[in-house]
Amino acid sequence: MKPKLLEIKGLKTYFQTEEGVVPAVDGVDIVVYEGETVGIVGESGCGKSVTSLTTMRLTPGKVVAGSISFQERDLLALSDEEMRKVRGNEMAMIFQEPMTSLNPVFTIGQQIGEAIEIHMQYSKQQARARAIDMLKLVGIPRAEQIVDEYPHQLSGGMRQRVMIAMAMSCNPKLLIADEPTTALDVTIQAQILDLMRELKEKHNTAIMMITHDLGVVAEMCDRVIVMYAGKVVEEADVVTLFTNPKHPYTQGLMKSIPRLNGTDERLYSIKGSVPIPGTLRKGCTFAPRCEYATDICRQEIPELNEIEDNHSCRCWLYEAKGEQA
Ligand SMILES: Nc1ncnc2c1ncn2[C@@H]1O[C@H](COP(=O)(O)OP(=O)(O)OP(=O)(O)O)[C@@H](O)[C@H]1O
Ligand SMILES: [Mg+2]
């Protein structure tokens, strides 16, 4: 077994709002091993971004329980200064909202260059040259000019690519990519995914890939974690998850993938919608939308159990491995 790089245990991140407490992340366990790509999937609002932002210690929410260990260091116990060193150096993130992470008053070159200078101990000149190389690598035309421009001078897709260049420029051990290619056209998307694969192969970078796109998951990921309403509901290697999904929610997600076989079957969608966090009091959070739900599902929250080797599921339909009759 490869060494553990990141281990999130029992994580709860809550928001205090005028309507009350929002348990956006509600007891999440995630392990990422060195050099592997882990997909995190689930409908909008299920807590994917809050989980990743909490890992980077960048969420405005409050961590009310749990631990995050990265390279055997407890991230939640680091000082802000120590955390800044981890961020962008050993751990980098591509954000879902690119504008929030680029500073409008600095040029592209200054922003990429600064990270490179600090983390790789390059001179200003070397850092600038590497910044230009990185911009070219992510498919930015006129890199020599763009390096001296400001974020607002670029289109959304370009900014996204700048952010990707920035995140990858220091060869992090862990790259957290939150919908990295959703805003980009397919050609650029393929290019960026290739680049991530290269990073993984060359530098043994682990990637936490958050995406709505199950095609990207199938193509990129070794393992997949399915989240629903702030909790992990299923986890398996990518082939198992696609061929033998167990949780009714995962089965629904799989059925909603468009097929290319030309059938005119209407695209399946899971009935109902993700509950607003904090509005569910009892039982499995998926029960109100689940066609298999029984009384126990409406009363008690199931545990995330390993139901077969390396395959875990949080559902009353299955018993933990070893407990089967
Ligand atoms: N700053 C905040 N204040 C209050 N609630 C928040 C805040 N940020 C996120 N939430 C809530 O936390 C829950 C999880 O949000 P999150 O952004 O993690 O979802 P997501 O899975 O990333 O969704 P998407 O696929 O749309 O990006 C949502 O109900 C959201 O409304
Ligand atoms: Mg998100």
CA of 3 to the centre of ligand 2 (A): 28
Ligand nearest to C-alpha 51: 1
Distance, CA of 169 to CA of 113 (rounded, Å): 9
Residue 325 lies in a domain: no
* Inter-residue contact 26 to 63 (CB < 8 Å): no
At residue 266, the pLDDT reads 55
CA of 182 to the centre of ligand 1 (A): 17
* Inter-residue contact 143 to 135 (CB < 8 Å): yes
- Using a 6 Å cutoff on CB, does residue 17 contact ligand 1? yes
Same domain, 165 and 24: no
User: Six-digit token pair at 97?
Assistant: 């909202």
At residue 66, the pLDDT reads 98
CA of 253 to the centre of ligand 1 (A): 19
At residue 87, the pLDDT reads 87
* Inter-residue contact 113 to 124 (CB < 8 Å): yes
Q: Which of 170, 188, 207 is the last residue of a domain?
A: 170
DSSP string, 81-135: HHHHHHBTTTEEEE-SSHHHHS-TTS-HHHHHHHHHHHHH---HHHHHHHHHHHH
Question: Around 45, how many Cα atoms within 13 Å sit in the side-chain half-sphere?
Answer: 8
- Using a 6 Å cutoff on CB, does residue 125 contact ligand 1? no
Our measurement of the distance from residue 192's CA atom to the centroid of its chain's CA atoms, rounded to an integer in Å, reads 16
At residue 263, the pLDDT reads 55
Burial of 104 (0-12, 13-18, 19+ CB in 10 A): exposed
DSSP string, 26-79: EEEEEEEETT-EEEEE-STTSSHHHHHHHHTT--SSEEEEEEEEETTEEGGGS-
Distance, CA of 94 to CA of 257 (rounded, Å): 25
At residue 180, the pLDDT reads 85
Residue 277 lies in a domain: yes
Give the closest residue (by CA) to ligand 1 atom 16: 47
Same domain, 274 and 132: no
Q: Ligand 1, closest atom to CA 230?
A: 14
Residue 71 lies in a domain: yes
Distance, CA of 79 to CA of 156 (rounded, Å): 33
Same domain, 111 and 58: no
- Using a 6 Å cutoff on CB, does residue 50 contact ligand 1? yes
CA of 63 to the centre of ligand 1 (A): 14
- Using a 6 Å cutoff on CB, does residue 22 contact ligand 1? yes
Give the closest residue (by CA) to ligand 1 atom 28: 45
Residue 323 lies in a domain: no
Residue 32 lies in a domain: yes
Distance, CA of 14 to CA of 60 (rounded, Å): 9
- Number of structural domains, the chain? 2
- Using a 6 Å cutoff on CB, does residue 277 contact ligand 1? yes
How many helices (H) and strands (E) the chain has is answered by: 12, 12
Same domain, 130 and 251: no
Q: Which of 105, 139, 170 is the last residue of a domain?
A: 170
Q: Ligand 1, closest atom to CA 96?
A: 27
- Using a 6 Å cutoff on CB, does residue 46 contact ligand 1? yes
Which run of H or of E encompasses 207?
Answer: strand 206-210
At residue 325, the pLDDT reads 54
At residue 259, the pLDDT reads 59
Residue 324 lies in a domain: no
Residue among 43, 46, 100 whose CB has most ligand 1 atoms within 8 A, to mutate: 46
**Structural domain range at position 98:** 90-170
Mean pLDDT per 10-residue section of the chain, whose length is 325 residues: 93 93 95 97 93 94 97 95 88 79 89 80 88 89 94 86 86 92 79 86 92 91 96 97 96 78 59 74 90 95 95 94 69
CA of 49 to the centre of ligand 2 (A): 4
Same domain, 69 and 99: no
Q: Which of 170, 201, 226 is the last residue of a domain?
A: 170
Same domain, 198 and 306: yes
- Distance of CA 320 to CAs 229, 237, 281, 315, Å? 22, 18, 24, 10
Q: Ligand 1, closest atom to CA 277?
A: 29
Same domain, 249 and 155: no
* Inter-residue contact 232 to 29 (CB < 8 Å): yes
User: Six-digit token pair at 304?
Assistant: 């995330």
* Inter-residue contact 50 to 13 (CB < 8 Å): yes
Residue 138 lies in a domain: yes
User: Six-digit token pair at 192?
Assistant: 């960026």
* Inter-residue contact 34 to 3 (CB < 8 Å): yes
Residue 104 lies in a domain: yes
Distance, CA of 227 to CA of 209 (rounded, Å): 13
Rg of the chain (C-alpha set): 21
